Chain A
């Protein structure tokens, strides 16, 4: 079983739609959580950190549920430019590097 699991998609949504992605992690010894964005054939870039109390950055909202071991990302009012793969990332206690999910692909259509 992968340590970080995501629905690969693709999620095809019209512009202006609200879309949500979930991610589950298997190791409870987790320390920090993030969403990275990766455009086609490009490098990953940090989208936002995920805090226990939930956090928002413009149209993006991230939530963490430690009891159920899942993380979510909500995108409101989708734009064409939101089309990308969204990577769920966890740092486990005692490890320095990031553990990545395989990503969820979003395609926003006009």
Chain B
């Protein structure tokens, strides 16, 4: 099993360009998440999808859109990139428990620089 995979691993954009970060998991998990990690800030939740067909905003959703394409795939789109979106982006997945916590498994991350 590959677990959680993300593409691309690295990306450099110019201000105003758009791009989509791809994420896929092969663990048959229901829930998927997008986080960003900035120095000194810890990971912050951008969007999540509790199950196929649903998406919800997290702590820092502005400037991003997401699509839960199917149970396996959850993409993050930057419509008009800004330097403030320079960050490391992590996708994660977990089973959806009924009131109990399920471990989140993270992908290797995408390092994005916006010039």
- A and B physically associate: yes
1/0 contact trace for A35-55 toward B, CB 8 Å? 000000111111001000000
> How many residues of chain A get a CB closer than 8 Å to chain B's CBs?
22
Query: Taking the complex as formed, is B48 at the interface, i.e. its CB lies under 8 A from any CB of chain A?
Result: yes
Please measure, in the bound complex, the distance between the C-alpha atom of A42 and the C-alpha atom of B48, giving whole angstroms: 21
Alpha-carbon separation in the docked complex, A31 to B99 (Å):
10
- Stretch of B61-69, B76-84, B104-112 at the chain-chain interface: B104-112
Interface flag for A21 (CB, 8 Å): no
Bound: A41/B90 CA distance, A: 11
Q: How many residues of B contact A (CB 8 A)?
A: 20
Decide if B43 touches A98 in the complex (CB within 8 Å).
yes
B41 touches A102 (CB 8 A): yes
Given known A-B contacts A46-B103, A98-B104, A87 and B48 have beta carbons under 8 A apart: no
Please name the residue on chain B nearest to A87 by beta carbon: B42
State the CA gap A96–B49 with chains docked (Å): 10
* Chain B window 15-35, contacts with chain A (Cβ cutoff 8 Å), 1 for yes, 0 for no: 000000000000000010100
CB<8 Å pairs between A and B, sample of 19 = A8-B40, A32-B101, A41-B109, A42-B108, A43-B90, A43-B106, A44-B90, A44-B106, A45-B106, A46-B103, A87-B42, A97-B33, A97-B58, A98-B43, A98-B104, A100-B44, A101-B42, A102-B40, A102-B41
